[in-house]
Structure 1
Amino acid sequence: MTTPVKLRPAPVIDETARLLIEHYVFPETAEQLADLLQRRLTEGAYDVDDIEELARRVTADLQSVNGDPHLSLKYHADRVPPQQGAAALSSMRRDFETSLGGAPRVQLLDGGVVVLELAPMLFPLEWAAEPLSAALTLASRAQALIVDLRANRGGDPDTVAFVCSYLLDQRTHLNTMHWHGGRRTEQSWSLPHVPGARFGGSKPLYVLSSGQTFSAAEELAYDLQQLGRAVVVGERTRGGAHPREGWTVHPHLEATVPVGRAINPVSGMNWEGTGVQPDIPCAAADSLDHAHALALTRLAG
């Protein structure tokens, strides 16, 4: 239960609107959203005493114009540190420590097929390089590999490139990021060298997806799919392609605003709004069995 407290919504709305104008990757939409928030404030839509309810209402309005799931006003039960991004970092570190660094399962299935689960996030590379390298090196001996992203809610694009580097044979252009204002673009490539052993670019590779797979995890699935490297099995993903940053706007509230737009070099598009469409659609709960059967059939052939 959230403890009801008195709050003044106007400063929260004013600061959120300012952040939209200054940072949102789509300036015209930012203007529309800022006007919408101010209008809703004037109408009394945010006159609530419950902070969590305020976060829900503002988030619904933020996502009402273009359906961007990365735009939100996030409620945190614990006080949010004032530094930019500190709220997400603190929560992320707890998840990292309790998930073996984001690789909680490496399992050998029948027929020399290995399933590697990456969850709950693709953590910052400075944290995750060691555990991911260990897990991917172990999986490199498999005859076929299944990467399970069904419970992965996103993370670091650099970590996406790191994982892809173990699944390809040569340095490959993966993604181009266009940052706020169009003043800067940044390309993402797989690495020419990796610590440990590669699974490589020729053995069968499958990626499991669900309706909860999000953000950087979607990029990992999309990059490998567009390169023709992996078969995606499962459900359509959530559809969030815009990297976001977070700012504290209240001791328990964090405004998250997308600051970039991803463009895949193969498709010339991204998965924003549409999600990653699986090559083999099925219920997420059944996707591991489907992928395992596909792998065995291919190996037998």
Structure 2
Amino acid sequence: MTTPTKLSTTPVVDETVRLLTEHYVFPETAEQLAGLLRERLAEGAYDVDDAAELARLVTADLQSVNGDRHLRLKHHATPVPPKEGAATLAAIRRDFDTSLGGAPRVQLLDGGVAVLELAPMLFPLEWAAEPLGAALTLVSRAPALIIDLRSNRGGDPDTVAFVCSHLLDERTHLNTMHWRGGDRVEQSWSQPHVPGPRFGGSKPLYVLTSAGTFSAAEELAYDLQQLGRAEVVGETTRGGAHPCQGWTVHPHLEVTVPLARAVNPVSGTNWEGVGVRPDVPCAAAESLDRAHALALARLTD
């Protein structure tokens, strides 16, 4: 009987510290966290034989200072490729191929109210433009629309802008990303043209959220809410506003580090740590019925 090989935790933690200090959008916090991880390593806190357990322990420490949910050591059950970002990309490609491109449900409710579920992610726009464009074209004729983000865990800011472009009448400033160091700033705008008819910027629009709605899905809800374009119905979201990149540091482990912070042009801030707070708070399971009732009431005014 062979004895399992002990997990070599020191190289994993050392590389996590390096990536954290080189890339994290908040350098002072990075230094503080790097010191914590080194201290915990020296104490033997990471002396475990299981990669999943190491991921749990390190992630808890990474999120202990400012609660950044994008900052983590992520475990993958199957071996992941070493190329930067490849681990996450491979996982989300599998989800894309099994979710109709991120638009798994289009439904017509009583009164002509349409429901479009976007899940489990807002996939990279080069993949998702065709299926999302088709779904958004299909619902464009409805007198009112409910977008269901309750099971959406994030994705691509460009895809957020693409969806918003179908729900607004003109080119609109949505968000600004401030990258580490302050020298690089990128604005996100809705597109002046879309490949098909728009739902537009005047008909009733509702966005459903849950406590699990995260990251880019939160941006979609927040952007539309801050613009006064949609009512958010459901639960306060998880609160992750920092776009991140992933690096493989072990065959089953990936470090994800936020590289920038979002600033909304209306609120001057973002949803980091606090989540998107609904206009109509209710349990996520009840939110579809609540939004449907609100839409019917608007349509019969």
Task: Note the alpha carbon deviations across 1:29-50, whole angstroms, 9 max, x for none.
Answer: 0000000000000000000111
Distance 1:4 1:118, change over 3 A: farther
Q: Structure 2 CA distance, aligned partners of 1:14 and 1:181?
A: 23
Aligned-partner residue type, residue 213 of structure 1? T
Trace 1:117-128 onto structure 2 (pairs within 5 A).
117-128=117-128
Q: Structure 1 CA distance, aligned partners of 2:103 and 2:180?
A: 32
Residue 60 of structure 1 corresponds to which residue in structure 2? 60
Residue 296 of structure 2 corresponds to which residue in structure 1? 296
Aligned-partner residue type, residue 260 of structure 2? G
Residue 233 of structure 1 corresponds to which residue in structure 2? 233
> Once the 2 structures are TM-superposed, how far is the Cα of residue 4 of structure 1 from its aligned partner?
6.2
Contact 1:205 1:231 in 2 (8 A): yes
Structure 2 residue 27 is matched with structure 1 residue 19 = no
**What percentage of aligned pairs have identical amino acids?**
80
Task: Note the alpha carbon deviations across 1:255-288, whole angstroms, 9 max, x for none.
Answer: 0000010000000000000000000000000000
Structure 2 residue 99 is matched with structure 1 residue 99 = yes
- Unpaired runs of 5+ residues, structure 1, are none
Residue 139 of structure 2 corresponds to which residue in structure 1? 139
Q: Structure 2 CA distance, aligned partners of 1:221 and 1:106?
A: 18
Contact 1:235 1:278 in 2 (8 A): yes
Task: Note the alpha carbon deviations across 1:45-87, whole angstroms, 9 max, x for none.
Answer: 0001111100000000000000000010001111110000000
Q: Structure 2 CA distance, aligned partners of 1:229 and 1:51?
A: 45
Q: RMSD across aligned C-alpha pairs, in angstroms?
A: 0.9
Structure 2 residue 186 is matched with structure 1 residue 195 = no
Residue 265 of structure 1 corresponds to which residue in structure 2? 265
Aligned-partner residue type, residue 19 of structure 2? L
SS for the counterpart of 1:267 is: coil
> Once the 2 structures are TM-superposed, how far is the Cα of residue 154 of structure 1 from its aligned partner?
0.1
Q: Structure 2 CA distance, aligned partners of 1:88 and 1:261?
A: 20
> Once the 2 structures are TM-superposed, how far is the Cα of residue 182 of structure 1 from its aligned partner?
1.3
> Once the 2 structures are TM-superposed, how far is the Cα of residue 93 of structure 1 from its aligned partner?
0.5
> Once the 2 structures are TM-superposed, how far is the Cα of residue 237 of structure 1 from its aligned partner?
0.1
Instruction: Return the TM-score normalized by structure 1.
Output: 0.98
> Once the 2 structures are TM-superposed, how far is the Cα of residue 168 of structure 1 from its aligned partner?
0.1
Q: Structure 2 CA distance, aligned partners of 1:181 and 1:150?
A: 34
Aligned-partner residue type, residue 73 of structure 1? L
Structure 2 residue 223 is matched with structure 1 residue 223 = yes
- Unpaired runs of 5+ residues, structure 2, are none
Residue 171 of structure 1 corresponds to which residue in structure 2? 171
Task: Note the alpha carbon deviations across 1:96-146, whole angstroms, 9 max, x for none.
Answer: 010000000010000010000000000000000000000000000001000
Aligned-partner residue type, residue 76 of structure 1? H
Q: Structure 2 CA distance, aligned partners of 1:186 and 1:128?
A: 22
